[in-house]
């Protein structure tokens, strides 16, 4: 049977789709300073969308609601910074003692460190002087570097705030426009429904995860305070925030707590802060989160891991923040993400 002359060639359609996707990714990478904070603004807007809807139902104008949410986020960040600032100052004051403890540790394990240094020297000789030049060029950021980065950070903050305000202000119009462009005719209402469903799912997911992470932060802070670790409040806040970045966040905090144990304790107590955190984190990951979140969202862990690695490589820390929401929204829009089936056979539809 011959193919209709008006029917599009599937190979051509796939090729065009791949080229368009590659061009889009290239544009997102090149203009990272603009698109990364803009994507973060969209994700934050999706998370706070139910709150915005409730405030609008109370009779508040949409512009006032959007501005109020932005002001609330600003004051929440300022309050967090005010709470953490004394502990950060304490850590800065203790930098000399931290360096001394690390130096003593390196002296104790100097044999192993010398062996590693000899191996790295052989590798450097084999690869050539380029490795040495690149390693020498990488140093601790100076005040000059900070001054150069300040305008970029300020510009990204303005992009984020402006994007968040206008997204909250016009998100319903954006959904309708995209549904009309993606779908055609009778498919338009279905696509609009998927946009709304994706928004509700991501918002509920992050609401549940925020409650879980807050509980984890309280538990970690209280446990570290009981064993006498300095700055236990800061570690608890760090445990809450870093738990939003799956896999890598907990790994980074575990390494930090191991370092804190080396600096502040001796003997087996050196590993106590890290062991306490890992125990609480595993309890949260294996029991608490699946019971609260798993019943609503079912995602392949490998897919989440790959998405997280891709967005971290693509946009760095901001990519790690938006990785999970973007993945959830994409899966819901393409109707890939289904609800978890009920374990009760009687509850399943016939």
What span, in angstroms and rounded, lies between the C-alpha atoms of 164 and 37?
9
Mean pLDDT, the chain, whole residue set: 77
pLDDT digits (tens, 9 = 90+) for 257-272: 988 888 888 888 889 9
Q: How far apart are CA 209 and CA 54, in angstroms?
A: 21
pLDDT in tens, 47-64: 899 899 999 999 899 999
State whether residue 312 is helix, strand or coil.
Answer: helix
> From residue 21, how far is each of 149, 154, 229, 309, 325 by CA, in Å?
30, 30, 49, 19, 19
In this predicted model, which residue has the larger pLDDT, 232 or 147? 232
Contact predicate 301/294, CB 8 Å: no
C-alpha to C-alpha distance for 248 and 252, rounded to whole angstroms: 6
Q: How much is the pLDDT for 110?
A: 59
In whole angstroms, how far apart are CA 175 and each of 17, 171, 199, 204, 347? 22, 6, 10, 19, 33
> Which pLDDT score is estimated for 198?
83
pLDDT of amino acid 129: 45
Higher pLDDT, 34 or 143: 34
Q: Identify the band that residue 77 occupies on the pLDDT scale cut at 50, 70 and 90.
A: confident
Contacts of 55 (CB under 8 A, 6+ apart): 65, 68
> What DSSP string runs through 220-278?
HHHHHHHTT-TTHHHHHHHHHHHTTSTTHHHHHHHHHHHHHHHHH--GGGGGHHHHHHH
3-state helix, strand, coil in the chain (%, to 5): 80, 0, 20
Per-residue pLDDT reduced to its tens digit, 184-193: 666 677 778 8
The mean per-residue pLDDT over the stretch 1-19 comes to 65
Q: Which residues contact 124 (CB under 8 A, 6 or more apart)?
A: 131, 132
User: Of 1-10, 138-147, 197-206, 326-335, which range is least confident?
Assistant: 138-147
Of the chain, the percentage scoring pLDDT greater than 70 comes to 72
Where do we find the tokens 């508040």?
A: 60
Q: Let me know how many helices (H) and strands (E) the chain has, helices first.
A: 15, 0
Question: CA Rg, the chain, in Å?
Answer: 25
What pLDDT is stored for residue 145 in this prediction? 57
Q: Which residue has the higher pLDDT, 347 or 28?
A: 28
The enclosing H or E element of 192 equals helix 187-226
Are residues 223 and 274 in contact, defined by beta-carbon separation less than 8 angstroms? no
How many CA atoms lie less than 13 Å away from 98 in the CB half-sphere? 12
pLDDT at 311: 87
When pLDDT is cut at 50, 70 and 90, the band that residue 122 belongs to is: low
pLDDT of residue 70: 93
> What does the pLDDT read at residue 347?
36
* Contact status, residue 226 vs residue 286, Cβ threshold 8 Å: no
Write down the pTM of the prediction.
0.71
C-beta separation of 293 from 209 below 8 A? yes
* Tens of pLDDT, residues 149-196: 667 788 888 999 999 999 999 988 888 888 887 766 666 777 788 888
Q: What is the dihedral of CA 162, 163, 164, 169, to 10 degrees?
A: 90
Token code pair at residue 46: 């999706």
| pLDDT value at residue 181 | 76
């Amino acid at each position: 049977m011959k193919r209709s002359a008006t029917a599009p060639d599937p190979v051509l359609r796939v090729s065009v789709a791949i080229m368009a996707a590659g061009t889009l990714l290239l544009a997102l990478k090149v203009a990272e300073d603009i698109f990364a904070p803009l994507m973060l603004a969209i994700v934050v807007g999706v998370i706070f969308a139910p709150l915005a809807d409730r405030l609008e139902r109370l009779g508040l104008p949409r512009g006032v609601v959007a501005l109020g949410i932005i002001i609330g986020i600003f004051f929440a960040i300022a309050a967090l910074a005010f709470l953490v600032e004394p502990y950060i100052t304490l850590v800065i004051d203790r930098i000399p003692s931290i360096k001394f403890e690390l130096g003593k540790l390196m002296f104790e394990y100097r044999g192993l460190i010398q062996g590693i240094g000899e191996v790295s020297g052989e590798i450097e000789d084999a690869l050539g002087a380029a490795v040495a030049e690149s390693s020498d060029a990488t140093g601790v950021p100076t005040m000059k570097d900070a001054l150069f980065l300040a305008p970029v950070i300020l510009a990204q903050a303005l992009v984020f705030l402006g994007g968040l305000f206008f997204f909250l202000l016009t998100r319903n119009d954006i959904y309708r426009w995209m549904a009309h462009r993606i779908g055609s005719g009778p498919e338009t209402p279905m696509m609009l429904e998927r946009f709304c469903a994706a928004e509700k799912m991501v918002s509920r997911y992050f609401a549940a995860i925020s409650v879980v992470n807050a509980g984890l932060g309280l538990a970690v802070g209280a446990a570290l305070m009981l064993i006498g670790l300095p700055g236990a409040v800061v570690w608890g806040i760090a445990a809450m925030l870093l738990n939003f970045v799956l896999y890598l966040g907990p790994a980074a905090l575990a390494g930090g707590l191991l370092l804190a144990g080396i600096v502040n304790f001796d003997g087996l107590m050196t590993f106590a802060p890290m062991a306490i955190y890992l125990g609480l984190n595993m309890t949260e990951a294996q029991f608490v989160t699946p019971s609260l979140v798993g019943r609503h969202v079912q995602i392949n862990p490998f897919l989440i891991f790959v998405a997280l690695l891709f967005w971290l490589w693509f946009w760095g820390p901001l990519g790690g923040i938006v990785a999970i929401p973007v993945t959830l929204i994409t899966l819901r829009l393409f109707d890939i993400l289904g609800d978890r089936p009920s374990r009760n056979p009687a509850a399943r539809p016939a």
